[in-house]
A and B are shown apart, each in its own frame.
Chain A
């Protein structure tokens, strides 16, 4: 009887938690779309801000859309190229060195927790050191540093679950550790790695603080890596700060755009990872 009550009680608590989380999530999305859809126009998607945009006149946030896409794709690409091999190295090459791997994991978890404004400041000091101006490149480098721990640790968590027997089987067939890493272990964990990339992309496109000093902000669309670039989160920030209600609503419209971009990327990567999931053992 008591057991049954206990079971019911915890089931109820869990359901309640689930419901609260879901409710808050729906509320956020609802309020963004509710306020944003009114201001969202074709013009917002296809035009740069004209003079006086921030006072409620014509224009759009194409500069921020393009800037954000450049920046996050660039940073995610860099972070993937660096991060996936690091995670493979930790799980294939360093498999015997448990202590070292645990230290690396600890350090990565530590820098994962560092707020993005600190990365912004660090990126800024790097720029000063190398004599760079605020630019797309500086932004990409800073955001790459910011998402690398996320990328590496998420890949690492997936690769950790790859069975030891599979590693042994591949090595027994005479493959080197590199062949084993890229042709077997990565394939086994591919869907998880795609999720890790997506997670990093989400962080990259959603962060404002790390790009504030490094990528800067501009009404233009960057045509080279050395030009400053606008980003959607900063665009939302500036528009929300405006006293004009119309511009404030445009901030929500920009948030809708950002949300939809993330949604599209999620769906694409889901579809992609499904294609590779079937071979998983």
Chain B
């Protein structure tokens, strides 16, 4: 089955000051699959992810050349408002950052700012999205409690629900399990496996075993360059490049 390309990164170069962080990146990310960006720490994976929803706009002294096409629209050079672009993508960061409000409002926030204020509809949607991340049963009696009282694992699932609530097409996840215990990590991985039916998921990780478990498509990065990319079984079982082989065998981390 041939896949449509959801995100196409075309000759992307990124500099912070004089440092060349991302070097001529060309990637095609398939729709409704889970793509893993794999590589050792400090190779530019997170920066690449943040380019996609233009969070790099926030960083000091960053220069970007090249294009990122999402549904054939170049998000780096477009007249579309950046908030509209960001709405297309839910973000899950390394450590959960719940909003400083109660559990209910964390999920409802995105809906409220896009103008949906009908109480009943909000209630239903909040329940729906909390259910989607299997959090509803755990929190249904304490929706008015501050989100910060939840465990880190619960917070991360809350952040996922909050991101899903604004109807994104893409989920960007930046090492979403790195702060979590094994059980919470597994919960997130399971969720991703379900969610990829409806969403294009791009996940950054440096955990090789995690990548093997869940990836459909793999991009291997090293020192700011894409070394190899392709369907997961090809890259893992038959890597073409020496450096990919070395990494898969644990030569460096």
Contact = CB atoms under 8 A, between A and B. Distances in A.
A175 B146 contact: no
Interface residues on A, range: 20 to 34
Contacts, number: 89
A279 B113 contact: no
Interface string B49-60: 010010101111
Contact of B148 (A95, A165, A173, A280): A280
Interface string A240-281: 000000000000000000000000000000000000001111
**Interface residues of chain B: helix, strand, loop or mixed (majority):** mixed
Nearest to A169: B97
A172 interface: yes
B33 interface: no
A188 B101 CA distance: 9
B72 interface: no
Interface string B21-62: 000000000000000000000000000001001010111101
B98 A172 contact: no
Contacts of A163: 97
B191 to A, nearest CB: 18
B99 A170 contact: yes
Contacts of B86: 171-174
Contacts of B19: none
Interface of B: 50, 53, 55, 57-60, 62, 83-84, 86-87, 89-91, 93, 95, 97-102, 109-110, 113-114, 146-148, 159, 162-163, 166, 172
B159 to A, nearest CB: 7
Given A171-B58, A187-B99, 16 more contacts: A96-B62, A165-B95, A166-B97, A168-B97, A171-B86, A172-B90, A173-B87, A173-B166, A174-B86, A174-B87, A174-B113, A175-B110, A183-B109, A183-B113, A187-B100, A280-B100
B146 A278 contact: yes
Contacts of B159: 169
B93 A279 contact: no
A179 interface: yes
Contact of A279 (B50, B58, B110, B148): B148
